[in-house]
Chain A
Amino acid sequence: MRLNFKYLLLFFIISVINIKPQDDLQRQVEFADNLYHQKLFYDAITEYKRLLFFDVNRTYSFYANNKIAQSYKGGGKFDDAVKYFKKAELSTLDQSEKFESKLEIIKVNILRETTQQSIDLIDELLSEEKDKEKVKQLDYWKAWTYMFANKWEIAYQILNIYPEFSELSKYCKEVIDEKYSVNFAKLLAYILPGAGQFYTGEYLSGAMSLSWNILFGYLTINSFVEERVFDGFAIGTLLWMRFYRGNYQNAERFAENKNIEIANNKLKYIQQNYQGLKP
């Protein structure tokens, strides 16, 4: 009986010693998670790094790297976020976790507007992927990439394939419809100075442009009519042409700026109001 007690005691001590480090790590996870949920990203990163350092069995390797990356992302440090999402991807053998890490990298690329990197990664995944659900997810993020790159037409084409994304595709359509045609604005300005600006809603600028062109056009023609060729040439080239060129350049610039404004406003609206997944 005495011997049994000794063994029991020894067993208990060994159990406590073995369980304890795991228990410490679990407590560390909770501590770091708590900081993360409070959005104290700097401290959360420190504690997840501590967890990684003491986690000799690499039990929390994927989790901690992923959380560090999320914290960096939350703090706007996108390059560091990508670095840790890659570490997370490398630290797991689970294919769904690997896929999740890659999606996160895509999302960070969308946010930091490294469009080509995002598209390359999506295309690479699409070429290997056969699971329809994952293909749909990849297409979804591809559309987001194009939305951030101000290529709403392509985003709309992608989203329009899937009925689930109808809300987002509707937003894309709205942007396409609201946008001004830069070429049309320029063409109008070529035909009638100021008309391009009127088309983009810049009425004062349009009226000014029209007035200057009428004035200098009149002076130029009048000089030629009165056989003051040199004056006509000088006014025509130095003044009339200058205002005529300024007119269509202005129309083009107004249309481009308005389009950027429309796209940015819509993107802002979507990020604030859209209930689906966002980068």
Chain B
Amino acid sequence: MLKKFFLIILLLLLADSLSAQNVLFNSKNRLSFADNLFCEQDYLRAFNEYREYLKFGYNDTVIFKISISLAQMGRFSEAIDYNKTLFGSLRLSEEAKFEFYRNLFLSNRINEFKYFYETDSFIPSEKEVYLKRMLLTSDLLSMKKYNLNLDELLKAFPRSIADTLTNFYKRLSFPNQKDPMLAGIYSALIPGLGKVYTEEYGDGITAFLLTGILTYLAVDNFNADHKYRGWLFTGLAAYFYAGNIYGSVSSAHKFNADLRLSLDSDMKIFFNKNNYFIPKPRFICD
């Protein structure tokens, strides 16, 4: 009896010492800890833990979560590679394909997106609308106004944002741009007028006054027979006159660039804030 007792104790101690290193690191615990990190949005650590977990065996959900973690960290290329491995998965094929498109869209690989979208005959109908949104958003953000159609745009997105989309579309299609040539001509006719045209009123008035004063000084000095000073002020007046024309043309270019930048920034903020009107990836914790 005593023998048996010691044998059992010995076996218990042996089992205990064997498992001693691994209890918190066994597959089940690794997975639950990784899921916790994933929910805490500590994606880098979650990614590492999931990879360690995969050493115990294949799990498509874990691979899917790895791709989500990578995408959340902005590592889209790696995420796409993981998405591809799930195309044959029984449970997650559709989800993986959708994430694949999302990652192509978010990493701005639009040509690849279009190529797969046009050749892929297995796009589920409920996801079709989101893919269409991604394509239209990409056209909007890349400011390809010739690709866009307002009706198509309004049909693809929720009605609640129709006004905002119309506003973006109008700003893109009919921008209130300034013609650099016209700005130059205005400034040639009346110094500073080109700047006023490009809405830089302060600069316009300054240019007008400065060129005017220098011209007056030149004329006045010639009249008083101060030839040297007359030519000096003529040179300065000509310099400021030419500078004012050049400045007006530049100002028109800058105005147009600012217009585009402001539209670009408004659209990016709007779509980003609303998650591009695409549902969040599956498994993401709220």
> Which residues of A are interface residues toward B (Cβ below 8 A)?
2, 5, 8-9, 12-13, 16, 20-21, 23-24, 27-28, 45-46, 49-50, 53-54
Contacts and interface: CB of A to CB of B under 8 A. Distances in A.
B73 interface: no
Contacts of B36: 53
A54 B16 contact: no
A183 to B, nearest CB: 33
A54 B24 contact: yes
Given A5-B1, A20-B23, A53-B36, A12 B9 contact: yes
Interface string B24-62: 100001001100110000100100110000000000000
B157 to A, nearest CB: 35
A46 B23 contact: no
A2 B9 CA distance: 16
Contacts of A46: 45, 48-49
Contact of A24 (B12, B23, B49): B23
A82 to B, nearest CB: 17
Contacts of B182: none
Given A2-B1, A9-B5, A16-B12, A50 B42 contact: no
Q: Which secondary structure characterizes the binding site on chain A?
A: helix
Contact of B37 (A12, A21, A23, A49): A49
Contacts of B2: 5
A5 B2 CA distance: 8
A28 B24 contact: yes
B47 to A, nearest CB: 11
A110 to B, nearest CB: 27
Contacts of B12: 12-13, 16
B8 interface: yes
- A2, A13, A46, most chain B CB atoms within 10 A: A46
Q: Which secondary structure characterizes the binding site on chain B?
A: helix
28 contacts: A2-B1, A5-B5, A8-B5, A9-B5, A9-B8, A9-B9, A13-B12, A16-B12, A20-B16, A21-B23, A23-B20, A24-B20, A24-B23, A24-B24, A27-B20, A27-B21, A28-B24, A45-B45, A46-B45, A46-B48, A46-B49, A49-B42, A49-B45, A50-B24, A50-B33, A53-B32, A53-B33, A53-B36
Given A46-B49, A54-B33, 14 more contacts: A2-B1, A5-B2, A9-B5, A9-B8, A9-B9, A12-B12, A16-B16, A20-B16, A23-B20, A27-B21, A49-B42, A49-B45, A53-B32, A53-B33
Contacts of B5: 5, 8-9
A54 B1 CA distance: 39
- Chain B interface size, as a band, is 20 to 34
A2 B4 CA distance: 12
B173 to A, nearest CB: 43
B216 to A, nearest CB: 13
A50 B33 CA distance: 7
Nearest to A46: B45
A49 B16 CA distance: 24
Contacts of A28: 24
A19 B8 CA distance: 18
Contacts of B21: 27
Nearest to A1: B1
Contacts of B24: 24, 28, 50, 54
A23 B33 CA distance: 19
A54 B2 CA distance: 37
10 tightest A-B contacts by CB?
A24-B23, A53-B33, A46-B45, A53-B36, A50-B33, A54-B24, A24-B24, A28-B24, A5-B5, A50-B24
A8 B260 CA distance: 82
Contacts of A45: 45
Nearest to B40: A49
B15 to A, nearest CB: 9
Contacts of A20: 16, 23
A26 to B, nearest CB: 11
A120 to B, nearest CB: 28
Contacts of B32: 53
Contacts of A2: 1
